[in-house]
Amino acid sequence: LARVTDQHRCNAEGWLPPPTVPFESFVALCGLKLPEQNEEWPTLEHCGILEIDLIHLLRGTPYKAGAAMTQKSSDEFVSDFVGFEDARGFSWRGSLHLVGTGVIARRTDGRDVPALSRVVLVRLGDDNKAATEAHVLFASPDDRCEDSTKFAQKGLLAADGNDALIFIYTLSPYVVVRCELPSGCCKKAFAGDSNLTASALGGYRGGSSATL
C-alpha cells in the first residue's frame, strides 16, 4: 500500500494549500514479486489506484467526509473529500480491509459536531479495486456505545483476533480494543504496561505500518 498525492509539505506538515487549491490523495495497491534465483531485488507489479469514495460510502449514516481546511460547518464543505490517508491493510473474514484516516463530520441528536480526523475501516471488493463499505470507528468507555469523540483519532494497528475485529489502540499505555460492525463501536479488551515511553524516545513521536 502507498499514498499517492499532489500535496506539498514542508515544516513538519505545517503548510497546506489554501481552500481554493484542494489537494488530492489516493491509495495505491501493488503486488510484490519476490526475487528469483538470479534476481537481487523484489519487483512491483499489478499496481493500481483504489477507488475509495467515502462521501458515497457514508451516505445515509450520521457521518460525512470532507476537507477540514475548507470546512464551512460541521456538515458542509467547500470542497469534496480529499482522500483516505495512512492506509494499513489486513485480511479479515476472507476480504482485504484497510484502516486509515479521513476528515469526518458527525451529526448527533440534531447537533452539528465539528469535523475531526477519524479512523475509518473500509472493505475492498473481491477484485481488490474499490471499497464496497465503510465504517467510522470510535472508542466507547461503556456499554452504551455512543460516539462522543472530541479529539482527532488515527493510527490503529490491526491484530489477529481470529474472527473478532481487534486493534491496538495505543502502545503506551498498551491498550487493545475489540470493534463491532456496523456500529463501529470499539471497547477496551485489554490494557497493560509498556516500556515505550516518550522519555525513552527522546521526545520523538510518529507512526508507521506494522506487521503483526
pLDDT digits (tens, 9 = 90+) for 95-139: 999 998 888 888 777 666 777 888 999 999 999 889 999 999 999
User: Binning pLDDT at 50, 70 and 90, where does residue 73 land?
Assistant: low
Give pLDDT, residue 19.
47
Chain segment 157-204, per-residue pLDDT in tens: 888 778 899 998 887 778 899 999 999 999 999 887 766 655 555 554
Q: Residue 61 carries which side chain, given as an amino acid letter?
A: T
Residue 92 β-bridge partners = 95
**pLDDT above 50 (res 13):** no
Of 190, 182, 75, 168, residue with least CA distance to 134: 182
- pLDDT at position 135 is 95
* Cβ within 8 Å of residue 148, ≥6 positions away: 138
On whether the CB atoms of residues 131 and 98 are closer than 8 A, the answer is yes
Cα–Cα distances in angstroms (integers) from residue 209 to residues 77, 158, 159, in the given order: 30, 10, 12
- Tally of CA atoms within 13 A in the half-sphere of 168 that contains its CB: 18
- What is the band of 44 on the pLDDT scale with cuts at 50, 70, 90? confident
Would you give the distance in Å from CA 86 to the centre of its chain? 6
Type of residue numbered 78: V
Cell reading at 34: 519476490
Q: How many angstroms from the chain centroid is the CA of residue 112?
A: 22
How confident is the model at residue 80, as a pLDDT?
54
